Structure 1
Amino acid sequence: MKQNMQVTNLTIPGRKKPYVMAHRGNNVLCPENTIAAFIQSFQDGADILETDLQLSKDEQFICIHDGSIDRTTDGTGLVSDYTAEELKNFSAFYGRDNFKSERIPFLTELAAILPPDVALALELKSDRFLEDETCQRLIDILTTSGIRDRTFVISFSKERVLCLHRLAPDIPAGLITMSGYTPDPEMQIIGPFWPLVFLNPFYIRQVRKNKQIVCPLDPTPDKRLRIYEKMKVDAVITNNPQNTCKLIRKYDQ
Structure 2
Amino acid sequence: MTQIFAHRGYSALFAENTMGAFIEAEKAGADGLELDVQLTKDGEIVVIHDEKVDRTTTGKGFVKDFLYKEIRKFNANKNGLKKEAIPSLAEVLEWLKTNKLICNIELKNGLIPYEGMEEKVIKLVRKYGLSDRIIISSFNHYSIVQSYRLAPEIETAPLFIEGIYMPWIYSQAIRAKGIHPKHSSMSDNIFINTMQNGIAVRPYTVNKDADMHRFFNINCTAFITDDPVKALRIRKQYEKRP
Equivalent in the alignment of 1:225: 212
Equivalent in the alignment of 1:9: none
Pairwise CA distance, 1:218: 2.8
Alignment counterpart, residue 7 of structure 2, candidates 10, 20, 23: 23
What is the distance in 1 between the residues matched to 2:18 and 2:158? 24
What is the distance in 2 between the residues matched to 1:241 and 1:57? 34
Equivalent in the alignment of 1:212: 199
Count of residue pairs the alignment pairs up: 232
Equivalent in the alignment of 1:90: 74
State the 4+ residue runs in structure 1 displaced beyond 3 angstroms: 127-131
Pairwise CA distance, 1:130: 7.0
Alignment counterpart, residue 236 of structure 1, candidates 223, 233, 236: 223
What is the distance in 2 between the residues matched to 1:130 and 1:161? 14
The SS at the match of 1:194 is: coil
> Identity percentage over the alignment?
30
Pairwise CA distance, 1:85: 0.9
Equivalent in the alignment of 1:106: 88
Equivalences for 1:1-253 in 2 at 5 Å?
17-93=1-77, 95-99=78-82, 101-114=83-96, 115-126=98-109, 131=115, 133-179=116-162, 180-183=164-167, 184-185=170-171, 186=174, 187-198=176-187, 201-253=188-240
Q: Which sections of structure 2, spanning at least 5 residues, go unmatched? A: none
Pairwise CA distance, 1:68: 0.6
Task: State the Cα deviation string for residues 143-194 of structure 1 (Å, max 9, x = none).
Answer: 1112122101011111111111111011111111111243133331111222
What is the distance in 1 between the residues matched to 2:10 and 2:192? 31
Pairwise CA distance, 1:113: 1.2
What is the distance in 1 between the residues matched to 2:214 and 2:102? 24
The SS at the match of 2:236 is: helix
Q: Which sections of structure 1, spanning at least 5 residues, go unmatched? A: 1-16
Pairwise CA distance, 1:135: 1.9
The SS at the match of 2:205 is: coil
Are the counterparts in 2 of residues 130 and 160 from structure 1 also a CA contact under 8 Å? no
Q: Mean alpha-carbon deviation: is it higher for 82-91 or for 137-146?
A: 137-146
Pairwise CA distance, 1:129: 6.4
Change (3 A) 1:139 1:118: same
Are the counterparts in 2 of residues 22 and 238 from structure 1 also a CA contact under 8 Å? yes
What is the distance in 2 between the residues matched to 1:161 and 1:243? 31
What is the distance in 1 between the residues matched to 2:152 and 2:121? 14
Pairwise CA distance, 1:83: 1.0
Tell me the C-alpha RMSD between the 2 structures: 1.8
Are the counterparts in 1 of residues 6 and 25 from structure 2 also a CA contact under 8 Å? yes
